[in-house]
């Protein structure tokens, strides 16, 4: 299957895209970011530098994954101290002496994660497989697999399934299966779907 990439979205050359993905208007995949197959970014959502988004992730509109941070303990929080961007093409700006800036590591989002409208996932955070990030959440800490988190700062509301079912889902890792192997499964019956996937994997 082919990527569906809107003409007004942006993908950095150094980004790694596993087809097929869908990128809607004004969405952006920044430098060295990676995005797994079947995932989509809705309008105006950004996967920032060096961030990872797994397979089968649903990202709503106005979501920021791993927005760039400024220093909090330098003379200033302004980027003039380390970056030539902003106010470019001016002589004084070109010759200005700057220091280094150690960027925080990117955010890592697992497979099958749904991120609601207007959510922000801060850099350095890992969101586990199967998690759901509620609309408007600001995720400041790691999110366990299959947790539903809401609020600012985001807190666990509940888990999608019981602990045993979550472990079985993580073991079966259905996102690594071929799409045709998933066709026709009774998706709305988690117990039966898991049983069928486990049986199919046992016969491989």
Ligand X SMILES: CC(C)(COP(=O)(O)OP(=O)(O)OC[C@H]1O[C@@H](n2cnc3c(N)ncnc32)[C@H](O)[C@@H]1OP(=O)(O)O)[C@@H](O)C(=O)NCCC(=O)NCCS
Q: Which residues are catalytic?
A: 70
Nearer to ligand X by Cβ, of 45 and 52: the residue is: 45
Look-up: residue for tokens 């497989």?
Answer: 129
Neighbours of 122 (CB within 10 A): 18
Give the DSSP letter string of 72-107: SSSS-SSGGGT---SS-S-HHHHH-------PPPPP
Nearer to ligand X by Cβ, of 27 and 50: the residue is: 27
Of 3, 10, 44, 58, the one binding ligand X (CB under 6 A) is 58
Applying the rule CB under 6 A, the residues between 127 and 186 that interact with ligand X are 132, 134-136, 148, 150-151, 157-158
Q: Does the protein bind ligand X through residue 57 (CB under 6 A)?
A: no
Nearer to ligand X by Cβ, of 34 and 45: the residue is: 45
d(CA 10, CA 31): 10
d(CA 148, CA 33): 24
- Nearest-approach distance from CB 135 to ligand X, in angstroms: 4
Contact positions toward ligand X, by CB under 6 A?
58, 60, 116-117, 132, 134-136, 148, 150-151, 157-158
């Amino acid at each position: 299957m082919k990527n569906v990439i809107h003409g007004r979205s942006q993908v950095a050359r150094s980004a790694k895209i596993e087809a097929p993905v869908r990128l809607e208007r004004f969405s952006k995949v920044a430098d060295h970011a990676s995005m797994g197959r079947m995932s989509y970014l809705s309008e105006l959502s950004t996967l920032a530098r060096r961030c990872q988004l797994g397979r089968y992730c649903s990202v709503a509109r106005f979501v920021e994954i791993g927005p760039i941070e400024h220093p909090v303990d330098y003379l200033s929080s302004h980027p003039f101290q380390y970056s030539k961007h902003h106010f470019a093409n001016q002589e004084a700006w070109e010759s200005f002496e700057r220091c280094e800036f150690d960027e925080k590591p990117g955010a890592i989002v697992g497979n099958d994660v749904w991120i609601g409208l207007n959510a922000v996932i801060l850099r350095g955070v890992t969101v586990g497989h199967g998690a759901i990030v509620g609309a408007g959440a600001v995720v400041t800490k790691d999110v366990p697999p299959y947790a539903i988190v809401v609020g600012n700062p985001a807190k666990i509301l509940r888990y999608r399934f019981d602990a045993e079912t979550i472990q079985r889902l993580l073991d079966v890792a259905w996102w690594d299966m071929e799409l045709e192997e998933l066709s026709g499964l009774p998706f709305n019956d988690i117990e039966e779907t898991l049983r069928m996937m486990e049986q199919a994997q046992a016969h491989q």
